[in-house]
Each structure stands twice: as structure tokens, then as C-alpha cells.
Amino acid sequence: MAKLRIRKKGDPTLRSHSRPVDKITDRIITLLDDMAETLHDADGCGLAAPQVGVRRRIVLVETEETGLLELINPEIIASEGEQLEQEGCLSIPGEWGITRRPAKVTVRALNRAGETCEYTGEGLLARAFCHEIDHLDGKLYTDPGTLVRMVDPDEDE
Ligand code: ZN
């Protein structure tokens, strides 16, 4: 496994549209392993392939509740409600913002064995699914429509 370099805001890869994975090759498996190492090293709760410079529809999400989820060609197939909570991004270090996201989402994706899986998440998990899948379409949480406001680092909550 290898730790990959995380692209930061301003890198054009973060604004590009990622292609679906048509075949889960050894290269894709290696990418999943390397992304997991990169995510753990950065201590984040999600990472999308374009954040490491690969324009493919692959994301990782990891929470205490779920452990590590590997999502290939993920799609949000249902969402409901609304939450306004704090979010950050490994590509935008040191900043946080309040975002508007669905309260609950269901995602369908392939796992590394090529099996179709569905996951439903609320709260942090719903935010993480939305945030990471947005990366595949070149969107960041700081974009209008998602961001409510940035959080002042000195703000007491
Ligand atoms: Zn992000």
C-alpha cells in the first residue's frame, strides 16, 4: 500500500467530472487500498478518488458506526429531510463550514467484489455520503447551494 498525495482546493482535478468504473481491475483494487491508507493517515471520515488525482467514481467513507465502506460508482437513490451541520474536507485543510444536506440518504454502489450494496445513513454518515459523491462531480462543500456559512475558527459553539 502507498500513501497518496491529497490534492488541495485550486487543483483542477477537484473540479472535474469523474468517469464510472467499468471493470474492477487489479489497478482499482490497489487504488482502494492506497486510498484507505491515505484516509487513515489523514484521519478523515471520507475520501474521493479525484482528491488523490484519479478521475474515477470511487469513494471511501469511514465512521465508527460503519467501519470502512468502499463505494464504486455510488449513487444516491433516496434522500429525505434536511440537516444543517458542520463539515470539513481534507482538500480544504483548517476550514469548516455549516452545510445544508439531507438528514437521511440511501446510497447504492458496487463493492470491490463487484456486488451491488445499499447503505442508508443519517447524520454524519448522510453528510459523508453526500460530500464524497459531490467530489465525483467536481463539487465542494464550500459551493453555493451547499454551504450555509463558513465557521469562524474562534467561534464558540
Ligand atoms: Zn472533501
Domain span holding position 105: 12-151
Name the average pLDDT for the chain.
96
Q: If pLDDT is split at 50, 70 and 90, which confidence band does 156 have?
A: low
Residue 47 host element (H or E): strand 46-48
Catalytic site residue from 85, 118, 132, 155 = 132
Mark the residues whose beta carbon lies below 5 A from ion ligand 1: 89
* Cα 156 to averaged position of ligand 1 atoms, centre (Å): 24
CATH of the domain at 96: 3.90.45.10
Number of domains the chain contains: 1
Q: Do the domain assignments include residue 6?
A: no
Are the C-beta atoms of residues 35 and 49 closer than 8 Å to each other?
A: yes
Beta strand 58-63 with 104-110 is: unpaired
Q: Is the pLDDT of residue 118 over 70?
A: yes
Q: Which three cell numbers stand for residue 66?
A: 460503519
Q: What is the pLDDT of residues 25-59, one digit of tens each?
A: 999 999 999 999 999 999 999 999 999 999 999 99
- On whether residue 2 sits in a domain, the answer given is no
Res. 155 pLDDT band, cuts 50 70 90:
confident
Active site residue 95: no
In the block, residue with C-alpha cell 447524520: 123
In a domain, 7, yes or no: no
Structural domain includes residue 157:
no
| Pairwise CA distance, residues 87 & 95, whole Å | 9
The CA 47 to ligand 1 mean position distance, Å, reads 6
Domain membership of residue 42 (yes or no) is yes
The model's confidence at residue 157, banded by pLDDT at 50, 70 and 90, is low
Domain assignment of residue 22, yes or no: yes
pLDDT > 70? residue 82 = yes
Helices (H) and strands (E) in the chain, counts: 2, 8
Asked if residue 140 is part of any domain, the answer here is yes
Give distance in angstroms: CA of 78 to centre of ligand 1. Answer: 21
Q: Is residue 156 part of a domain?
A: no
Ligand 1 centroid, distance to 149 Cα (angstroms):
16
